[in-house]
Amino acid sequence: MRSKDIISTIAFISAFAVSAAFASLFIDKSQYTNYKVFTVRTNPNCQSKDQTCREMLSLLVRDNISGGERQERYDYSLGEKGNVSPKRAETVAEYVEEASSMKDANLPPEFRTEWREHMQAWRTYSEFLTEVSQNKIENAEFRRLENRYIDEINDSYDDVLKIAKTYGVNNAHVY
């Protein structure tokens, strides 16, 4: 190989490395879905020193951690028999079981009511995923129903957070 070719190859590799390093400066790292990144960006806390606030915050943070772990195990592949893989349905069912078992007996009745409605929304979604992991339905119908169930989950969680905020909980949603 001639020295001119060697120098050209080295120049090309160097230019590529520098441009790749420079381009990474423009990537929006806030879009990463890694749970641990988001944990650092928020600071869940209580405005008051109230025990109720701390217990409520503890439940919400444990739920968020459990949800983050669920996200890491989530299987987005299509099922062989249904619209989703059985693993996806199992992952959501495990999350629902874990989150539903969190102790809420010492929390205010209005919070417990909203929390249990939120868990019921998750349970309904879990049952839906279990069904469509075994029996395929039309894709348009699947998307419509899944969006409806996810909207119900999000709306019920917003209701939980509104009640929590009245007790002084801040930044409980950490992922």
DSSP letters of the chain?
A: --HHHHHHHHHHHHHHHHHHHHHHTTS-GGG---HHHHHHH---EESS--HHHHHHHHHHHHHHHHHHHHHHH---SPPSSSSS-HHHHHHHHHHHHHHHTS--TTS-HHHHHHHHHHHHHHHHHHHHHHHHHHS---HHHHHHHHHHHHHHHHHHHHHHHHHHHHTTEES----
Higher-scoring residue by pLDDT: 163, 22: 163
Task: Indicate whether 17 belongs to any domain.
Answer: no
Task: Indicate whether 24 belongs to any domain.
Answer: no
Average pLDDT over residues 42-59: 77
Task: Indicate whether 14 belongs to any domain.
Answer: no
In angstroms, what CA-CA distances link 1 with 12, 16, 34? 16, 21, 46
Q: Is 101 left (phi over 0), alpha (psi -120 to 50) or beta?
A: alpha
Q: Given a cut of 60, is residue 24 above it in pLDDT?
A: no
Question: Are the CB atoms for 39 and 174 separated by under 8 Å?
Answer: yes
pLDDT at residue 30, as a whole number: 38
Average pLDDT over residues 19-27: 52
Task: Indicate whether 108 belongs to any domain.
Answer: yes
Of the ranges 82-86, 91-95, 161-165, which one carries the lowest mean pLDDT score? Answer: 82-86
Q: Given a cut of 70, is residue 162 above it in pLDDT?
A: yes
Residue-range definition of the domain harbouring residue 121: 29-170
**Number of domains the chain is built from:** 1
In angstroms, what CA-CA distances link 6 with 16, 32, 124? 15, 39, 64
Residue-wise pLDDT tens digits, 108-160 = 999 999 999 999 999 999 999 999 999 889 989 999 999 999 999 999 999 99
Higher-scoring residue by pLDDT: 73, 104: 104
Task: Indicate whether 103 belongs to any domain.
Answer: yes
Task: Indicate whether 133 belongs to any domain.
Answer: yes
Task: Indicate whether 15 belongs to any domain.
Answer: no
Task: Indicate whether 126 belongs to any domain.
Answer: yes
Question: Are the CB atoms for 94 and 70 separated by under 8 Å?
Answer: yes
